[in-house]
């Protein structure tokens, strides 16, 4: 990664969640883990569930879908009150929603009846923060109507504080919430399962043992992801404050004056900057700017580094007093407050790399060749690859998920020459080794024909996404959002429907002609790497040439070179049908060489 990047330490998120969940449990409070600041990143949702939350909370349907597509079946709570126009999607994707409008609740009820479901709702009460919520004087009246709706069930009431008005949770306002809940229970002879006392800002009240006993639920985001309570912003006991860290590369380091020279006008953002003369200082420029992140709320990890300012693409630092004198090319790290994290996670320019245990270095992979391909002779491929200085070993084992898993366990990269067709086994091996990976498929087929074919090459992808045998379902490790198919020529309508439904990125030959391979690969790599530990590349040799209908050699090379530059490839799988393949051993070798970093022409 050369540009700005957020490294997300999944273990720290799990651990922060565990600390907070345990703390709350001792006070008889259950926790919904709020994933919205991570844009519903599946690994983050899973870490929260591992840490013991009872459900996940999200404010956007798209993010809920993202987690569902990754196989997360936990109860989902929709936090932002639903828009009337999307009630059907809410009942389809979320189990519980927070609500304050009668007509929306009525529509939710109708929508869930159509699906023969009962949607759970929590009525939000406004205790004075003046964001969402029913005004207390109207609560009983609205409850009376809602209780008659057959498609929804009131499971509790809740409130949200410290968001708009900055109102702090107190024994008084929390006591009111309990009182309102008991009024509803008495008036309608029902029992409310949940009294939800707010968000991270309610934790201090718990700490001081001033939370009324019947409050039994909180929705916690910031305290888990940033390890902080939100009233004073102090680190929560036992939590990490650096689960998310932003870094960017140092691209200029020079001693220069602290005050600009010459008459000054407005800066790039129409402000008149003010400078204090500190004499010459050691100034560093990083390759990150206002187009990527919110600068004002970045906190340098090294407290002795200070931020001077930023333009669209440059961040300027005073590193005169840095703990360790930085060097060009080094990555400087920052912690973030909530606003900076939110902006950076939403930015397309910022890479998101999960950290899951030991870091892998993939620039110079140790390659292990495995499998007997009908497409090429292993001896020939071996000879070519060792001639070009790509050193590797050969495994005599058969392709099984275990043999592939073992290669990964030894921190090596498999080069898989599957007999027809072992991709399902290899991908299982991948999923045993990595929690979340991307998938780049170069093939004329979508391989999504489950139920209509039993040819492995035509169905393996539908199996991976759970449309086939249960034991082949790998959707919790390989998400459709991280899957791309390049070079499609033959697709059935049923496959197109699945591609659309799952949100797989697919590029046909026509797209490649229109957009060009470079543009397409930039997109594909972003997708395959976003929130994953790396990606699996599967090239079906049929994708190339085919009487001018397929990829050209040049395009295939460019693809492989860009894959190599990304340093993200975990495995290379070569498949194809011998009689349809347009490529001989030699040509195939050169393509494989590109994938491992060899350039046709190095100037
Ligand atoms: C975002 C949100 C939360 C979580 O807030 P944090 O301060 O991140 O803990 C809880 N409830 C609702 C309704 C929210 O929108």
124 lines ligand 1 (CB under 6 A): no
Count of CB atoms situated within 10 Å of the CB of 100: 20
Task: Please give the number of the atom of ligand 1 that sits closest to the Cα of 79.
Answer: 13
Burial 370-384 (b: 16+ CB within 10 A, else e): bbebebbeeeebbeb
- Domains of the chain, CATH where assigned: 9-225 (3.20.20.10), 244-355 (no CATH), 367-595 (3.40.800.10)
Instruction: Using the mean position of ligand 1's atoms as its centre, give its distance from the Cα of residue 9 in Å.
Output: 21
d(CA 533, CA 568): 8
Task: Please give the number of the atom of ligand 1 that sits closest to the Cα of 124.
Answer: 13
What's the pLDDT tens digit per position in 240-296? 999 999 999 999 999 999 988 888 887 777 888 888 888 999 999 999 999 989 988
Report the candidate in 350, 349, 325, 329 with the shortest Cα–Cα distance to residue 285.
329
Averages of pLDDT over each 10 residues, the chain, 603 residues: 88 94 95 96 93 96 92 94 97 97 98 96 96 96 97 97 89 97 97 96 93 97 92 87 96 94 81 86 96 90 95 95 95 93 92 71 68 78 76 85 94 83 88 95 91 80 90 92 94 92 93 92 91 93 83 91 88 80 77 77 43
36, 228, 352, 598: the active-site residue:
36
Q: Name the residue of 80, 163, 230, 345 to mutate for ligand 1: max ligand atoms within 8 A of Cβ.
A: 163
DSSP string computed for 251-303 = EEEEEEESS--S-----TTS--------SEEEEEEES--TTTS-GGGEEESST
What's the pLDDT tens digit per position in 424-440? 899 999 999 999 999 99
Contacts (Cβ under 8 Å, ≥6 apart) of 516: none
When computed from its CA atoms, the radius of gyration of the chain, rounded to whole angstroms, is 27
Contacts (Cβ under 8 Å, ≥6 apart) of 597: 363, 390, 564
Reported pTM: 0.77
Active site residue 333: no
Q: Are 97 and 108 in contact (CB under 8 A)?
A: yes
445 lines ligand 1 (CB under 6 A): no
For ligand 1, atom 12: residue with the closest CA: 79
Report the candidate in 205, 242, 211, 227 with the shortest Cα–Cα distance to residue 17.
227
79 lines ligand 1 (CB under 6 A): yes
d(CA 176, CA 440): 55
The single-letter DSSP state of residue 580 is: G
Query: Would you call 16 exposed, middle or buried from its count of C-beta atoms within 10 A (0-12, 13-18, 19+)?
Result: buried
Instruction: Using the mean position of ligand 1's atoms as its centre, give its distance from the Cα of residue 450 in Å.
Output: 40
For ligand 1, atom 14: residue with the closest CA: 79
31 lines ligand 1 (CB under 6 A): no
Instruction: Using the mean position of ligand 1's atoms as its centre, give its distance from the Cα of residue 199 in Å.
Output: 5
16 lines ligand 1 (CB under 6 A): no
């Amino acid at each position: 990664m050369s540009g700005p990047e957020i490294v997300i330490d999944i273990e720290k998120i799990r651990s922060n969640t565990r600390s907070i969940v345990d703390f709350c449990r001792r006070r008889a409070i259950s926790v919904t883990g709020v994933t919205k600041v991570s844009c519903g990143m599946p690994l983050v949702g899973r870490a929260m569930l591992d840490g013991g939350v009872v459900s996940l909370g999200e404010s956007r349907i798209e993010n809920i879908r993202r987690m569902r597509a990754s196989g997360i079946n936990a109860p989902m709570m929709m936090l932002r009150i639903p828009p009337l126009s999307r009630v059907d999607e809410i009942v389809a994707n979320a189990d519980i929603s927070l609500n304050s409008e009668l007509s929306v609740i009525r529509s939710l009820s109708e929508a869930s009846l159509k699906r023969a479901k009962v949607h759970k709702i929590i009525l939000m009460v406004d205790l004075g923060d003046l964001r969402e919520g029913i005004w207390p004087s109207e609560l009983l009246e609205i409850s009376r109507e809602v209780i008659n709706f057959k498609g929804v069930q009131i499971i509790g009431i809740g409130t949200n504080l410290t968001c708009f008005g900055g109102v702090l949770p107190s024994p008084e306002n929390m006591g009111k919430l309990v009182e309102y809940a008991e009024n509803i229970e008495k008036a309608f002879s029902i029992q409310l399962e949940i009294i939800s006392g707010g968000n991270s800002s309610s934790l201090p009240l718990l700490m001081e043992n001033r939370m009324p006993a019947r409050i039994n639920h909180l929705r916690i985001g910031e305290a888990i992801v940033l390890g902080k309570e939100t009233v004073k912003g102090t680190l929560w006991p036992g939590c990490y404050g650096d689960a998310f860290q932003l870094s960017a590369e140092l691209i200029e380091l020079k001693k220069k004056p602290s005050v600009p020279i010459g008459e000054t006008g407005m800066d790039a953002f129409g402000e008149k900057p003010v400078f204090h003369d500190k004499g010459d200082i050691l100034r560093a420029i990083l390759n990150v700017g206002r187009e990527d992140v919110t600068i004002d709320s970045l906190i340098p990890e090294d407290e002795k580094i200070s931020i001077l300012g930023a333009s669209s693409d440059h961040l300027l630092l005073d590193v005169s007093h840095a703990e360790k004198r930085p060097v060009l090319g080094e990555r400087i790290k920052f912690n973030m407050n909530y606003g900076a994290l939110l902006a950076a996670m939403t930015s397309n320019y910022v890479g998101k790399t999960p950290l899951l245990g030991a870091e892998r270095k993939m620039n110079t992979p140790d390659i292990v060749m495995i499998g007997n391909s009908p497409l090429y002779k292993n001896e020939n491929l071996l000879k070519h690859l060792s001639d070009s200085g790509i050193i590797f070993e050969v495994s005599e084992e058969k392709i099984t998920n275990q043999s592939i898993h073992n290669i990964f366990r030894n921190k090596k990269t498999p080069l898989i020459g599957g007999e027809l067709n072992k991709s399902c086994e290899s991908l299982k091996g991948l999923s045993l080794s990595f929690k979340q990976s991307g998938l780049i498929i170069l093939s004329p087929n979508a391989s999504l024909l489950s139920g209509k074919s039993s040819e492995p090459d035509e169905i393996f992808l539908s199996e991976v996404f759970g449309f086939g045998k249960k034991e082949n379902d790998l959707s919790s490790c390989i998400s459709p959002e991280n899957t791309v198919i390049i070079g499609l020529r033959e697709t059935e309508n049923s496959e197109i429907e699945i591609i659309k439904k799952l949100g797989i990125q697919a590029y046909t030959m026509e797209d490649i002609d229109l957009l060009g391979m470079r543009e397409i690969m930039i997109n594909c790599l972003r997708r395959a790497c976003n929130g994953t530990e790396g990606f699996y590349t599967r090239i079906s040799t049929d994708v190339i040439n085919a009487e001018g209908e397929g990829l050209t050699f040049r395009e295939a090379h460019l693809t492989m070179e860009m894959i190599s530059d990304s340093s993200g490839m975990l495995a290379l799988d070569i498949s194809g049908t011998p009689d349809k393949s347009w490529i001989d051993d030699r040509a195939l070798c050169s393509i494989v060489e590109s994938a491992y970093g060899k350039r046709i022409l190095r100037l």
